[in-house]
Amino acid sequence: MTGIYIHVPFCAKKCPYCDFYSVPYRKATAEAYVQAVIRNLKHYQNPDTVDSIYFGGGTPSLLSVKQISDILETCSTNFKLDSMTEITLEHNPTRTDRNYLYELRKAGVNRLSIGTQSFSDTQLKLLGRTHTAKQNLETVQNAFQAGFYHISCDLMLALPYQTEQVLTETLKILTSLPIQHVSAYLLQMEENTPFYTSPEILDNLPDDDTSADRYLQTVQMLEKAGFYQYEVSSFAKSGFESKHNLKYWYCQDYLGIGAGAHSCIKNRRFYVPKEIENFCQNPVQEEITISENACNSEEKLMLALRTSRGVPLSALQPEAQKKLAILIKNDYIKLKENNYIAMTPKGFAVSNAVTAMLI
Ligand code: SF4
- For residue 110, give the CATH number of its domain: 3.20.20.70
User: Per the domain annotation, does 254 fall within a domain?
Assistant: no
User: Per the domain annotation, does 255 fall within a domain?
Assistant: no
Residues 99 and 213 in one domain: yes
Report the atom number in ligand 1 closest to the C-alpha of 129. 4
State the DSSP code for 311: E
Could you give the number of structural domains in the chain? 2
Q: Which of 248, 275, 308 is the last residue of a domain?
A: 248
181: β partners: 152, 236
Pocket test for ligand 1, best of 7, 13, 18, 156 (most atoms within 8 A of CB): 18
Residues 231 and 304 in one domain: no
d(CA 17, CA 189): 7
User: Per the domain annotation, does 336 fall within a domain?
Assistant: yes
CATH of the domain at 301: 1.10.10
Residues 230 and 334 in one domain: no
Render the burial of 89-124: b for 16+ CB within 10 Å, e for the rest: bbbbbbbbeeebbbbbbebbbbbbbbbbbbbbeebb
User: Per the domain annotation, does 167 fall within a domain?
Assistant: yes
18 CA distance to ligand 1 middle (Å): 6
Residues 227 and 333 in one domain: no
Domain hosting residue 102, numbered range: 2-248
- Closest-CA residue, ligand 1 atom 4, reads 15
Residues 227 and 309 in one domain: no
User: Per the domain annotation, does 352 fall within a domain?
Assistant: yes
Residues 196 and 116 in one domain: yes
Pocket test for ligand 1, best of 10, 25, 59 (most atoms within 8 A of CB): 59
Backbone angles phi, psi at 79, to 5 degrees: -130, 165
Residues 154 and 59 in one domain: yes
Residues with CB under 6 A from ligand 1: 11, 14-15, 18, 20, 22, 57-59, 92
State the DSSP code for 307: B
56 CA distance to ligand 1 middle (Å): 10
Residues 232 and 302 in one domain: no
pTM for the full predicted model: 0.96
Residues 319 and 211 in one domain: no
From first to last of the 359 residues of the chain, give the pLDDT tens digit: 899 999 999 999 999 999 998 999 999 999 999 999 999 999 997 778 999 999 999 999 999 999 999 999 999 999 999 999 999 999 999 999 999 999 999 999 999 999 999 999 999 999 999 999 999 999 999 999 999 999 999 999 999 999 999 999 999 999 999 999 999 999 999 999 999 999 999 999 999 999 999 999 999 999 999 999 999 999 999 999 999 999 999 999 999 999 999 999 999 999 999 999 999 999 999 999 999 999 998 999 999 999 999 999 999 998 888 899 999 999 999 999 889 999 999 999 999 999 999 98
